[in-house]
Amino acid sequence: MTTDRPFPSSVELVLDGHGLLVDTRAASPLALEAAVAAMAPATKAAITADLKCFLAWCKARRPVATAVPAEPETLVHYLHWLAKGSDTRAGAKPATLARRIASIARIHRILGFGDTEPLPTQAGMVRDTLKAIRRKKRERQKQAAPLRLGEAMQEGQAPPEGVTVNALLASCGTDIIGLRDAALISLAYDAGLRVSELVSTTVADLRQVGDGSGRLEIAHSKTDQLGEGALAWLSPDTMARLSAWLLASGITQGAVFRRINVLSGPPDASGQRIVRHYIGAKPLTRQGVVAILRRRVLEAVDLGLVELEPGMEGDTARGLSAHSFRVGLTQDLFAAGEDGAGIALALRWSSPTTALRYARELAVGNNAAARVLGKLRGSG
């Protein structure tokens, strides 16, 4: 497929490279251009990756399988292949399988299929295969471990144990790397940011108000496909940490969080090694954020700021991700007595149900049965 645009998107480039596997006769170049332009960057990247995987698999089949329009039997075989894995590839989880099928369905719609006939992804055998794999693996999708603030949200509550935001902040020193990490951790928690929102934050997105607090303008997010934007409240503490980092780094525009290159020179006359820090121009990557988070967890343990069972440091660090800040803030707000609707609005969740799912364990201790029976059948 070709279009009049001089710079085709990644989705179009993948389709162009597999013309024999994809029937584009019903496709409108204008519709394809509009559909791709409407996608969020993360969505476009995910669909491109999923499409590459499916097309490569179809091409390797004997006989070669048509990718679009796909036969339901083809999708069933593809799902089993993904779920099984190999010596060099781990089996896909049910959530990944569902996303792959959703991407295939979206490509079919973009190319003009599904208007007058059901999509192959909607076939009963495809849905039944997904259910069977999910039941066989018996795996509920694991959510990121929460990173809560570390303080009791209401009188009578005990502060959360384990790794907390306060412990991570206390592990950050006053050197340039510590200032950056503290600002990143504080901002990620206050605004409950997705990692895509965190790494795309720019200086122009930040604004301080009279009481010392701040506002973060989130230009685009996962649930804001139309790009209407949202505002997040930032505490005075977070604004102070951001100011300290920006002042020390000399960053006045562009990405707030960047990679810091450390260069160590030969020792001087006194034997001290000269270390220089250079601030990169590009924003941190998702992987960079995770690396910072996990390094801070290990440092907090080494400094005695977090108590863990011996040997659990590595597993605990690996169980956290950039999403942990968002999950932790959701749980803290729930513990403070906020309802699901308010939490969903503040953190830009797609629905109150989604917000409450991340507070499932806290909800059990605060539901009607717990409140009533806790009084009637309490200890003593």
Give the residues across from 215 on adjacent strands: 207, 233
As a whole number of angstroms, the distance between CA 101 and CA 121 comes to 7
* The pLDDT value given to residue 379: 47
Could you tell me the two tokens for 78? 């593809």
Closest CA to 132 of 70, 72, 83: 83
Please give the pLDDT value at position 2. 44
How confident is the model at residue 369, as a pLDDT? 58
Long-range (24+ apart) CB contacts under 8 A made by 51-60 are 51/11, 51/14, 51/15, 51/103, 51/104, 51/107, 52/14, 53/100, 54/78, 54/100, 54/103, 54/104, 55/14, 55/18, 55/21, 55/22, 57/81, 58/21, 59/18, 59/21
Q: In the chain, which residues have pLDDT < 50?
A: 1-7, 140, 379-380
User: What pLDDT does 79 receive?
Assistant: 95
Q: What pLDDT is stored for residue 4 in this prediction?
A: 47
> Has this prediction a pTM greater than 0.75?
no
Per CATH, the number for 165-368 is 1.10.443.10
Quick one: pLDDT at residue 187? 97
Domain spans of the chain, in order of start = 10-137, 165-368
CA distance 309 to 311: 6
CATH of domain 10-137: 1.10.150.130
What per-residue confidence (pLDDT) applies to 305? 94
Output the pLDDT for position 32. 80
The whole-number pLDDT of residue 280 equals: 92
What's residue 14's pLDDT? Answer: 62
What local confidence, expressed as pLDDT, does residue 296 receive? 95
CA–CA distance, 237 with 215 (Å, rounded to integer)? 13
